């Protein structure tokens, strides 16, 4: 019969993607004994303690998120890597769901939930019910969430969480730049957030990274070039995203130095349509050649793995074009030179 309790249960499961707490189920007239029977016979899944999915699985992404939020309690919100994926800042990778909860929340992080009831046959790929939950605690949880569905940390707070969670300051700054550019977070909004919510670590390098973003840096590759090649070796700071008119088009160079007009292109074409990139680069190459401007091109591998080698090449062209050398070797240069001398 379609009574009030049945309608309430249907409405609840529709709203929560088929996942509910045992308290909610009891309010809909389902006794603990009935819940236990459904779980033990393999009809339903116990995702976490007191969190039930009224299906035999597997859980889709919406169900995984809902189960995690129900486990974390009414104030829980998606955060860190999970919120970043929802905002489009990170690609989704296998792993637990990250939540932020109030500081006094009694819940604790949970490992992946594995299927134990095998009465109903299922594939091995369906053995994991839920990827698990990582809980973060915050005293300011009322000020960092936004009313999305499901609720998550704001873009600016998500960027900060990713940055301060990184193992090193340099990785934190790279995560900061990547999240801001991928999530299209404005510099002004991020600056306001840094004033309101001071990061618990890496504050100086994050402010430096924000200054570079304000100065035209638009990717992690450009950030690594600015910090690991230019700043680390005392090279002049190039002009970022310098506009050039080519016919009726305006094209932008990643880095341009006033010293001799050297152009440095940072090639991230793996993230773009290959045909469009080739056409754009041909136009820029032709324009640079007609203007007799020297140019160098580097990709992620060179900048991230051999910034000292990139420095030496940029320095050589700058000096050749008339720049008075004021650069210096960095600590990494000394290590590389020592390793070369020792034959390693």
Share of the chain above pLDDT 90, in %: 64
Q: How confident is the model at residue 136 (pLDDT cuts 50, 70, 90)?
A: very high
- Note the Cα 308 to chain centre separation in Å: 27
The per-residue pLDDT for 272 is: 44
| Cβ-count burial 207-219 (b if 16+ within 10 Å, e if not) | ebbbebbeebbbb
Read off the pLDDT band of 265 (50, 70, 90): confident
Cα 168 from chain centroid (whole Å): 15
Q: pLDDT tens across 240-262, in order?
A: 988 877 667 777 888 999 877 89
Say how far apart CA 168 and CA 193 lie, in whole Å. Answer: 21
User: pTM of the predicted model, to two decimals?
Assistant: 0.83
pLDDT digits (tens, 9 = 90+) for 156-178: 999 999 999 999 999 999 999 99
Q: Please tell me what DSSP assigns to residue 11.
A: H
Across the range 106-110, mean pLDDT stands at 94
Per-residue pLDDT of 188-212, as tens digits, reads: 999 999 999 999 899 999 999 999 9
Decide if 164 contacts 201 (C-beta within 8 A). Answer: yes
* Rounded average pLDDT over 83-110: 94
- The answer to which of 74-83, 116-125, 207-216, 217-226 has the lowest mean pLDDT is 116-125
């Amino acid at each position: 019969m379609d009574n009030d309790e049945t309608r309430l249960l249907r409405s609840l499961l529709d709203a929560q993607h088929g996942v509910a707490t045992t308290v909610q189920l009891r309010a809909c007239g389902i006794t603990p004994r009935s819940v236990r029977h459904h779980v033990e016979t393999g009809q339903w899944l116990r995702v976490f303690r007191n969190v039930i999915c009224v299906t035999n699985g597997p859980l889709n992404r919406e169900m995984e998120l809902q189960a995690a939020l129900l486990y974390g309690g009414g104030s829980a919100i998606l955060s860190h890597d999970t919120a970043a994926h929802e905002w489009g800042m990170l690609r989704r990778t296998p792993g637990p769901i990250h939540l932020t909860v109030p500081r006094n929340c009694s819940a604790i992080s949970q490992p992946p939930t594995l299927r134990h009831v095998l009465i109903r046959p299922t594939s091995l790929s369906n053995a994991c019910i839920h990827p698990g939950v990582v809980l973060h605690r915050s005293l300011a949880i009322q000020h960092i969430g936004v009313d999305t569905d499901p609720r998550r940390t704001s873009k600016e707070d998500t960027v900060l969480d990713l940055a301060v969670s990184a193992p090193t300051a340099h990785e934190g700054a790279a995560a900061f730049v990547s999240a801001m550019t991928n999530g299209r977070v404005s510099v002004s909004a991020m600056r306001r957030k840094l004033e309101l919510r001071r990061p618990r670590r890496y504050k100086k390098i994050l402010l430096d990274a924000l200054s570079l973003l304000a100065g035209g840096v638009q990717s992690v590759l450009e950030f690594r070039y600015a910090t690991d090649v230019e700043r680390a070796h005392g090279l002049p700071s190039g002009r970022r995203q310098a506009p050039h008119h080519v016919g009726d088009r305006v094209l932008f160079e990643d880095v341009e130095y006033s010293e001799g007009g050297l152009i440095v292109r940072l090639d991230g074409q793996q993230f773009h349509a290959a045909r469009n990139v080739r056409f754009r680069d041909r136009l820029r190459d032709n324009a640079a050649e007609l203007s007799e401007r020297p140019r160098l091109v580097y990709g992620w591998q060179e900048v991230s793995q051999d910034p000292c080698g990139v420095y030496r090449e940029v320095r050589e062209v700058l000096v050749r074009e008339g720049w008075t050398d004021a650069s210096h070797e960095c600590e990494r240069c000394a290590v590389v030179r020592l390793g070369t001398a020792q034959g390693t």
